Amino acid sequence: MGHGGSTLPERSGVALSFRGRPDFIPIIGYLDDLILIPMGLALVVRLTPPEVIESARAQAQQASTKPVSYSAAAFVIVVWLIVMWLFGKWTLSLVRA
């Protein structure tokens, strides 16, 4: 259609976190994300009905009073460290072979 292969969000000026093509000036790509994403979040908060915001705050407050299991968190971290160590060992075996 003669739009140069750009997508609708690109033509409308909406910033995408994952773009199909790289920025010509990399710093500008980060700056538009730093500006447009907070503006979009502020717009969402502004357009959200107050009842929904209050309900979400009440749910967040209720969730923050639930007990926390540090031993479960430590277990998950140890499992991830073991998985990363095994993956690194496997990757090195492939590189050395």
CA atoms in the 13 A half-sphere facing the CB of 7: 9
| Element holding 79 (H helix, E strand) | helix 70-96
Per-residue pLDDT of the chain (97 residues; tens, 9 = 90+): 445 555 555 555 554 555 555 566 677 777 777 888 899 999 999 999 999 999 999 999 998 888 889 999 999 999 999 999 999 999 999 998 7
Longest dimension (CA), the chain: 61
Sign of CA dihedral 1, 21, 8, 10: negative
Read off the pTM.
0.40
Residue type, 81: L
- The per-residue pLDDT for 73 is 94
- The per-residue pLDDT for 51 is 96
Residue type, 93: S
Nearest to 30 by CA among 19, 43, 46, 44: 19
